[in-house]
Amino acid sequence: MENLFSPCLYLREVNAISSLGLAHMGDAVYEILVRTMLITSVDTTGAHLHQDTTNLVNASAQAQAADLLLPHLTEQEAAFYRRGRNAGVRPIPKNATHAQYSKATGLEALFGALYLLGQKDRALELFQIIME
């Protein structure tokens, strides 16, 4: 069995995955990055970890993160973002606008694509831009 912890798919394979599939993967990748950052670099108690995580992993916060990243994306990365943003996800949570949810889905699709392509260093670089 291939190493599922460190996938390294070809671009054509990643392009064959649906936008929502990329966003599904990216949601997990983004949350792992946030949780790892909180555990390793923030002085927080166990009682606050969940709240601190949900403050960063929600449509509104991810939409703001997407806005920060757009000027830093390569053409290919921007294409992954647009695929996710334009996915037409329904239903949209009550605590987010359609625009926020679309941007958040785009961000997740971007992180999902980078992870699946084996570009974890680039994903981390972009994540660090968000967290600055």
Q: Which residues are catalytic?
A: 27
Reported as half-sphere exposure (CB side, CA atoms, 13 A), residue 95 has a value of 9
Cα–Cα distance measured from residue 50 to residue 43, given in angstroms and rounded to the nearest whole number = 14
Compute CA 9 distance to the chain's CA centroid, rounded to the nearest angstrom.
Answer: 18
Cα–Cα distance measured from residue 115 to residue 109, given in angstroms and rounded to the nearest whole number = 10
Residue type, 132: E
